[in-house]
Structure 1
Amino acid sequence: MKKQSNFLRLAMAVALLIAVNVNVMGDTLRKGGSVVGKIESNGDVRLNGSIVGRFESNGDIRVGGSIEGRIENNGDIRKRGSIIGRVESNGDIRLGGSIVGKVENNGDIRKNGSIIGKVEQMTNKRRVAVMYFFGFFKL
């Protein structure tokens, strides 16, 4: 009888651990019982239920629940439905079809031939463009 009781306790503990592990795999971050953030496998970052950032190809960029822009697979950056910029593999930053800046291999951001910023240890040129076009930095 005691062996069966110990086995049941062990089985319940294993079942509890599995159930807890399933909850953790949801990746929801909670504070005081309410959701304060969520990290999903598709790269979205959400606060208060709204997407506040996403830095992937073909991804929405949202601030305060509204869509601020979108990075498409072809490198176009859109804001309010219109193309406002483009990041190409050569590092050009385009606005309205005209080149307004360039991200160089050394990390310099140039506009009209002058250095207006620098990026260090950031290899993803799309992130640079998002910061440039959506005012995360005042360049």
Structure 2
Amino acid sequence: MRSIALALLLLCGTAQADVTLGPVTIRNASNSAVGAVDADGTIRNASNSVVGKIDHDGTVRNASNSSVGKVESDGTIRNASNSSIGKVESDGTIRNASNSQVGKLESDGTIRNSANSAVGKVDGYSPGLRQMVAAALFFGGSVSVLRVDR
């Protein structure tokens, strides 16, 4: 009985929290839609073509369904080699691999760059979706309105 309890404790202790998914539309500073994330995590570009997917466990996949990275429940963004390439903090601050602030997701969905200028907006945003939106900004290619590689 002890070994079963220990096994359950070990499994529960290493489980990662799911990343919350939800439908959002990402707009640029001109209010044009540049992409979207569907309720199931599918990432679409402005032409409505599928460019990737975010799974509930945080795995980010490209259009060919290959894993290209991961967003963790604490907001850390990792590439396919498991190296940290950035992070979204609980207040929405977005940092690159060098820990420099490159932007911020405001609670109303406004996306700001490092100079605090509004560069876009996320329709349907809530702070609980910050990991999902950050993954789309880091891995979504043309969907991103923010330079995260600085």
| Bigger Rg over Cα | 1
Give structure 2 stretches of 5+ with no counterpart: 1-39, 43-51, 146-150
Share of identical aligned residues, percent? 38
Q: Residues 72 and 108 from structure 1, CA distance in 2 versus in 1: closer, same or farther, beyond 3 angstroms?
A: same
Aligned-residue offset at 1:59: 2.1
Give the aligned partner of residue 60 of structure 1: 59
CA contact under 8 A between 1:55 and 1:127: conserved in structure 2?
Answer: no
**SS in structure 1 at match of 2:135:** helix
Give the aligned partner of residue 100 of structure 1: 102
TM-score, L = length of structure 2: 0.53
Give structure 1 stretches of 5+ with no counterpart: 1-42, 46-51
**SS in structure 1 at match of 2:123:** coil
CA contact under 8 A between 2:85 and 2:96: conserved in structure 1?
Answer: yes
**SS in structure 1 at match of 2:73:** coil
In 2, Cα distance between equivalents of 1:121 and 1:44: 14
Q: Residues 54 and 138 from structure 1, CA distance in 2 versus in 1: closer, same or farther, beyond 3 angstroms?
A: closer
Question: Which of residues 116, 119, 127 is equivalent to 2:132?
Answer: 127
Higher-RCO chain (CA-CA 8 Å, sequence separation at least 6): 2
CA contact under 8 A between 2:94 and 2:103: conserved in structure 1?
Answer: yes
Q: Which amino acid aligns with 1:62?
A: R
Q: Which amino acid aligns with 2:118?
A: I
How many residue pairs end up in the alignment?
Answer: 90
**SS in structure 2 at match of 1:122:** coil
Aligned-residue offset at 1:55: 4.3
**SS in structure 2 at match of 1:62:** strand
TM-score, L = length of structure 1: 0.57
